[in-house]
Amino acid sequence: MAAQRAARTKDEVDHPSSPVLQFGPDKPLKLDAGTILSPFQIAYQTYGTLNDARSNAILVCHALTGDQHVANTNPVTGKPGWWEVLIGPGKIIDTNRFFVICSNVIGGCLGSTGPASTNPSTGKPYGLDLPIITIRDMVRAQAMLVDHFGIEKLFCVLGGSMGGMQVLEWAASHSERVFCALPIATGARHSSQNIAFHEVGRQAVMADPEWHGGKYLDFGKRPEKGLAVARMAAHITYLSEAALHRKFGRNLQDRDALTFGFDADFQIESYLRHQGMTFVDRFDANSYLYLTRAMDYFDLAADHGGRLADAFAGTKTRFCLVSFTSDWLFPTEESRSIVHALNAAGASVSFVEIETDRGHDAFLLDEPELFAAINGFIASAARARGLNL
């Protein structure tokens, strides 16, 4: 089964099962690194129907290990879309009313150009020859996708974590194209602690002897052990201590007594090992390096002279920010600082802090308060937009 998933992941890199938009030399992607990516492609999914006025489009931005399969069965894992609980016919983001777009980010590994993609100049995977990608680069590519649909202004852009960073970048760089924005469980910059956790993960990948300086695909190898450790370390940050205690405590895994060895005695150990090994079957190790680096580089205030409010100067976009009390990866104060900056810029902004012990991952789970906040904000914005829904 694991080998089959790995094979499907490889197939999805250059020839995804989802729709793909290819950009030739006439439409290069200018990168913050000072280089140009050309040609390149974006894999995406859409749900619902674009209305005649092209005014009902919602762009969903995925998090670090997400993809374009937000509301359909994932072709690699066979699991439901990562936000199917929120998006679909008759759901909070009702695809009977809205046209929803979700793309795999540039630098990803499920169909958009990334380090596992074939470099047309060599015929081999890019590996580390791919230029460093930033959040702004991801948004530039998404804007080109939105242009393809003839959409001048998106009704809403929403996403959590790294997806929330993209939402903020959309609102800062393309405010005239975003009617309302919903950044969830995110921040305007990556903290030093978050950068530190990412560096641990990257070093775990690069220390794996099968990494081969990033050229592992040329050798038919994958740094599975290193990437699994990276995923295990990151997954801890997505949960809270309370959630870990509630789910696992110090319960033993399929045994009545300690083994006095280094097997997975505790349920939490077994859980993390499972998370690590299932992750390596569906995700490219170099993509993990590139996307964590993109998050580390994100600093919206630094991009605007050190003053966050200037990033939103003159904006007409409506905002709703959501945080979770137990999220220590992007704590509530990160969202509050964005709210203060938006207030200073004279923006229309609402803020919801949701009490939960589920940690950072709460934005992906069935959280009634989150759904109520999103539903209320979307409904209010739709009325203001004049959408006959």
Catalytic residues: 161, 327, 360
Distance CA 151, CA 32 (A): 25
Distance CA 29, CA 36 (A): 6
Distance CA 215, CA 3 (A): 20
**Of 138, 111, 154, nearest in space to 284 by CA:** 111
The Cβ of residue 290 has, within 10 Å, a number of other Cβ atoms equal to 23
Hey, is 379 helix, strand or coil? Answer: helix
Annotated binding site for substrate: 231, 361
Distance CA 284, CA 112 (A): 12
The Cβ of residue 197 has, within 10 Å, a number of other Cβ atoms equal to 18
> Cα–Cα distances in Å, from 50 out to 46, 94, 180, 219?
10, 13, 17, 45
- Paired sense of beta strands 57-61 and 40-47, if any: unpaired
